[in-house]
Structure 1
Amino acid sequence: MTNPDEPLWRTTCRETVTAAPLLSDISVDVAIIGGGYTGCSAALYAAQQGASVCLLEAKSIGHGGSGRNVGLVNAGLWLPPDDIRNHLGQETGDRLIDLLAQAPADVFDLIDQNGIDCEPVRQGTLHCAHSGAGRRDLQKRHAQLVASGAPVELLTAQDASQRTGSTAFQGALYDPRAGTIQPMAYVMGLARVAAESGAHIYTESPVRSLRREGKEWLLETPQGSVRARAVIQATNAYHQGPEETAPDYVPVYYFQYATAPLSHNLRASILPAGEGCWDTGLIMTSFRLDGDGRMIIGGMGDLGHAGCGIHSAWVRRKLDQIYPQLSDQPLVEGWHGRIAMTSDHIPKITQIGPNALSAHGFSGRGIGPGTVFGRLMAQSLLTGDPSCLPVPVVPEHRERWPRLRRVYFETGAALTHLIKARF
Structure 2
Amino acid sequence: MVMALRAACKPRISGGVALPDHAPVSLWDVTALESAPGAQDTAPEPRVDLAIVGGGITGLSTALHAAQAGLSVQVIEAGRLGEGGSGRNVGLVNAGVWMPPAAVRAALGQDRGERFLDLFGDAPRAVFDLIERHQIRCAATRTGTIHAAHAPRAMADLRGRHDAWEARGAPVTLLDAAEVSRLTGSRAFHGGLVDARAGTINPMAYCRGLARAARGAGAAITTGCRVTGLRHDGGAWQVDTPRGPVAARDVVLATNAYTDTLWPGLADSLVPLRFVQVATEPLGTAGADILPDGQGLWDTGRVMRALRRDAEGRLILGTMGRLHGDADAGLTRRWAMRQIGRLYPDLPPVRIESAWDGVIAMTPDHLPRIHQLADGLYTPIGYNGRGITTGTVFGAAMARLLTGGDPDDLPLPLGSPATAPRGRLTARLLDAALSAHQALRAL
1:324 corresponding residue in structure 2: 345
1:345 corresponding residue in structure 2: 366
Q: In structure 1, what is the Cα distance between the partners aligned to 2:164 and 2:111?
A: 16
Which residue identity is paired with 1:395? S
Deviations 1:79-99 (A, max 9, x none): 111111111111111111110
Q: In structure 2, what is the Cα distance between the partners aligned to 1:345 and 1:61?
A: 26
Shifted more, 379-388 versus 44-53: the winner is 379-388
Shifted more, 68-77 versus 351-360: the winner is 351-360
Which residue identity is paired with 1:167? R
Structure 1 position 334 matched with structure 2 position 355:
yes
Tell me: CA distance 1:25–1:194, structure 2 relative to 1, closer, same or farther (3 Å): closer
Shifted more, 405-414 versus 358-367: the winner is 405-414
1:15 to 34, 41, 46: 34
1:54 to 34, 50, 74: 74
Structure 1 position 40 matched with structure 2 position 66:
no
Within 5 Å, give how 1:202-217 maps onto structure 2: 202-217=222-237
2:323 to 303, 323, 336: 303
1:72 corresponding residue in structure 2: 92
Equivalent residue of 2:106, what SS? helix
Equivalent residue of 2:156, what SS? helix
Deviation at 1:401, TM superposition (A): 1.5
1:414 corresponding residue in structure 2: 435
1:249 to 270, 288, 303: 270
Q: In structure 2, what is the Cα distance between the partners aligned to 1:332 and 1:55?
A: 33
Structure 1 position 276 matched with structure 2 position 296:
yes
Gaps of 5+ in 1: none
Equivalent residue of 2:346, what SS? helix
Structure 1 position 163 matched with structure 2 position 188:
no
1:63 corresponding residue in structure 2: 83
Asked if the contact 1:350–1:397 (Cα under 8 Å) also holds between the matched residues in 2, the reply is no
Asked if the contact 1:232–1:378 (Cα under 8 Å) also holds between the matched residues in 2, the reply is no
Equivalent residue of 2:264, what SS? helix
Q: In structure 2, what is the Cα distance between the partners aligned to 1:375 and 1:359?
A: 11
Equivalent residue of 2:307, what SS? strand
| Root mean square deviation of aligned Cα | 1.8
Equivalent residue of 1:340, what SS? strand
Equivalent residue of 1:333, what SS? strand
Deviations 1:307-336 (A, max 9, x none): x94433222111111112335001121100
Structure 1 position 174 matched with structure 2 position 194:
yes
Deviation at 1:421, TM superposition (A): 7.2
Aligned residues: 420
Structure 1 position 382 matched with structure 2 position 400:
no
1:183 to 203, 206, 209: 203
Q: In structure 2, what is the Cα distance between the partners aligned to 1:227 and 1:36?
A: 21
2:219 corresponding residue in structure 1: 199
Identity of aligned residues (%): 45
Tell me: CA distance 1:327–1:268, structure 2 relative to 1, closer, same or farther (3 Å): closer
Which residue identity is paired with 1:10? D
Q: In structure 1, what is the Cα distance between the partners aligned to 2:208 and 2:425?
A: 34
Return the TM-score normalized by structure 2: 0.91
Asked if the contact 2:45–2:220 (Cα under 8 Å) also holds between the matched residues in 1, the reply is no
Gaps of 5+ in 2: 1-8, 17-24
1:362 to 383, 396, 410: 383
